[in-house]
Amino acid sequence: QFRHLLTLFTVKIEAVRETGVSLYDIQSAWGKVLELRIQQWNPSGWTEDTDTLTVDLSNGNVTYANPDKEKFTTFYNTGLDTVFPAEDGGFTLIDTPQEVAYTMCAPKVAVGGGVHEYELTIVTKREGQDEKETVIPIDLKDDSGDFTGSPAGRQFEILLKFKKSRAVAVVASIDEWKTGGQGNADITD
């Protein structure tokens, strides 16, 4: 029986204008987004092996290795198979929420209680400045509040709200993966 073993994240980005702050002010404060990456958070420490996934075919149980602090998953441009951002020089912030990226990664069992399961790293660069990394904790949520259990086979939307002085990530929705259609092609050698 087929089931998704990974977790799907989609990312929307929005520059939020506050009183007296223009879109240009926010773009100047942050610069362009050069990279998005996500990794599992392990509050008890990190191990070396995060690439192992074991499936017990007798009962369908899946176990994942503990995450490694040095390993992460990159995001891809929505609708494309290219690493985010598609634009040379980075993604320019806009003031209308727009889905820009997605990734699939190993699920992290959620325990609730405000403990975050992932960390999202945003790499930005202002003109004439060095790159800046901003790390945002991602606490998985569902319609009832804290999400608990395995997020395998689930889709989460992350809304990144950039303000002049800070960035905020909101897990906006959760849903089961749905079949988007089908495709076929001839395979030749």
pLDDT (0 to 100) of residue 173: 58
pLDDT (0 to 100) of residue 185: 46
3-state secondary structure the chain: CCCCCCEEEEEEEEECCCCCCCHHHHHHHHCEEEEEEEEECCCCCCCCCCCCEEECCCCCCEEECCCCCCCCEECEECCCCCECCCCCCCECCCCCCEEEEEEEECCCCECCCCCCCEEEEEEEECCCCCEEEEEEEECCEECCEECCECCCCEEEEEEEEECCCCEEEEEEEEEECCCCCCCCCCCCC
Mean pLDDT computed over 122-134: 92
pLDDT (0 to 100) of residue 166: 76
pLDDT (0 to 100) of residue 178: 56
Mean pLDDT computed over 149-171: 83
pLDDT (0 to 100) of residue 65: 63
Specify the pTM: 0.80
Higher pLDDT, 108 or 182: 108
Higher pLDDT, 142 or 84: 84
pLDDT (0 to 100) of residue 110: 85
Q: Is the pLDDT confidence value at 116 over 60?
A: yes
What is the tens place of the pLDDT at every residue in 30-62? 999 999 999 887 666 555 444 566 777 777 776
Counting residues of the chain whose pLDDT is more than 90, the rounded percentage is: 31
Q: Is the pLDDT confidence value at 107 over 90?
A: no
